[in-house]
Amino acid sequence: ALALRRAWRTYLLAYAAAYRELKPRDQEALRLVEVEGLQYREVALRLGVGLSNMKMILFRARRRIWRRMGAWGGSEARAAG
């Protein structure tokens, strides 16, 4: 259990570091969808972009995070898509 908690903490630290490297708009989009639980359409309205653009913003932000985390961890990570 201790090893699992340490691994989880390491993962969260890597995610947070990668998240901080995103553009503010990308951070806000991820926060609204993943933390606040808003629908893509609502987030698109709040950010003043179209729905298809919103989907692309989230896809690219998630991909950047996974790539950064993969580089940090020494292996290549791929975003699901």
pLDDT at 80: 45
The DSSP code sequence of 1-65 is -HHHHHHHHHHHHHHHHHHHTS-HHHHHHHIIIIIS---HHHHHHHHT--HHHHHHHHHHHHHHH
Helix ranges restricted to H, 21-50: 24-30, 40-47
Say whether 12 sits in a helix, a strand or coil: helix
The mean pLDDT value for 52-72 works out to: 92
Amino acid, single-letter form, for residue 28: E
All residues at 6 or more sequence positions from 30 whose CB lies less than 8 Å from its CB, including other chains: 19, 22, 58, 61, 62
Res. 28: pLDDT tops 70: yes
| Mean of per-residue pLDDT scores for the chain | 89
Say whether 14 sits in a helix, a strand or coil: helix
